[in-house]
Structure 1
């Protein structure tokens, strides 16, 4: 098994892409820790759950310390936790702006910053950050979400340069539109704010993808697993699209 006995931390792994990745890596022998504010369902057992709100720096620090106390190391990190918002600038409240920045940017930054000393001591590590197709391109009604994902792209590249001497690789997965609870919540918000039918929103999302459909979490999990693994040992600082061809149009 490719990830046998590898210690992996995933933030936001209770649902969506994080959950699919947690399940994938566990099947491949990984020792996976899920740092999330929402506990998985009782019958959803792969991996170990640690309650952690990535908006809280101390909770991140304590959670990672707990992983190291139990396993003595952290081999891999998937900084996945994030939220979405369909809204123009005028439709975005100050609270929504702050929350997106606190989770998508600051949460990612603080998680990576806290894990780096452990990986430096090991002289090895692999990190994947959660980007988006909006790391590359703009979309309507997505100004603040796009802002946060553009920032993640730059954070990936600069961190990859800084920590390459320590044999720590940092890459970024950039999914397109994926069938997750996060997407469903965003579509409901967009439909309510703009008084449009949800079914029509989903149909438009399908038709604008060159592959003719939105993606599934398991498809992204497979790419994340590749980026975390030693199979891509000469990749760092890469922004990797997995978007059904959306940004190549």
Structure 2
């Protein structure tokens, strides 16, 4: 028996990184999973690898039409929708005073508007299924802030706020809405060397590991599979009395900075 037997979950940004690990774990726990992403080749290959319990849909989370199509494809393939994991996001580093409006708006459109559109599209389907779950991916920076991440932190703080509102509005319908707030996680978004281990970025990856070893109380960067386990907890009945909450998963970063 898996923790998600019979459930159908749509996961965004699922072609690689954190979303990929969530898709693999959810399928292993008995769920039918729909992988949404703009990385079509990778997403289709992953869905094929997972097997009959997986489907891939092209999903640009910033586009309303893509969300409508993704939810429709999910219910057409598996009959209903029980869960959504809003995982897709982008990251841009820039000092606030030097951040172009276009860059700021791009991050908002993908991270913040994408999560909003996802919840708005999924809630009617979850209601029709008799209830379900939404897990939004926020960030450690939503609660603490971080230099050079004005646009990113703003969107993640907004996601925490929307999570609380959505939880209150949907609780009576049997829908639970929670947020994950990861710290430093070893994914292609935060560590570009993972995209090409043979590139010159490999040395920067080693430097990044050394940086987090000194910075974080637990002495290491987080693993995508660890965040996936939190997403599983918030999607499964193990968290049946939890809604409207941000869950920090950061190796102790929010608790304070380790001594160098």
TM-score of the alignment, normalized to the shorter chain, above 0.5: yes
Aligned to 2:95: 88
Relative distance call for 1:42 and 1:154 in structure 2 (3 A) is: closer
CA-to-aligned-CA distance 1:133-163 (integer Å, 9 cap, x gap): 0121011111111001010110111110111
Q: Partners of 1:91 and 1:224 in 2: how far apart?
A: 35
Report how far residue 59 of structure 1 moved. 0.9
Aligned to 1:37: 38
Relative distance call for 1:171 and 1:42 in structure 2 (3 A) is: closer
SS class of match (1:212): coil
Aligned to 2:121: 114
CA-to-aligned-CA distance 1:71-127 (integer Å, 9 cap, x gap): 221011101110111211133222211110000000110011011011122231111
Query: 1:6-25 to 2 correspondence within 5 Å?
Result: 6-25=7-26
Aligned to 1:102: 109
Query: 1:1-249 to 2 correspondence within 5 Å?
Result: 1-39=2-40, 40=42, 44=46, 45-46=49-50, 47-185=54-192, 199-249=206-256
Q: Partners of 2:12 and 2:87 in 1: how far apart?
A: 5
SS class of match (2:251): coil
Moved over 6 A (4+): none
Q: Partners of 1:160 and 1:21 in 2: how far apart?
A: 22
Aligned to 2:200: none
> Does the Cα contact within 8 Å between 1:84 and 1:186 map onto a contact in 2?
no
What is the TM-score with the length of structure 1 in the denominator? 0.91
User: How many residues of Structure 1 are paired with residues of Structure 2 in the alignment?
Assistant: 241
Q: Partners of 2:96 and 2:9 in 1: how far apart?
A: 37
SS class of match (2:104): helix
> Does the Cα contact within 8 Å between 1:11 and 1:18 map onto a contact in 2?
yes
Q: Partners of 2:206 and 2:79 in 1: how far apart?
A: 49
Report how far residue 238 of structure 1 moved. 0.9
Report how far residue 201 of structure 1 moved. 4.5
Q: Partners of 1:128 and 1:220 in 2: how far apart?
A: 12
**Structure with the larger RCO, 1 or 2 (CA within 8 Å, 6+ apart):** 1
Q: Partners of 1:214 and 1:171 in 2: how far apart?
A: 23
Give ranges in structure 1 of 5+ residues lacking alignment.
Answer: 188-196
**What is the alpha-carbon root mean square deviation over aligned residues?**
1.9
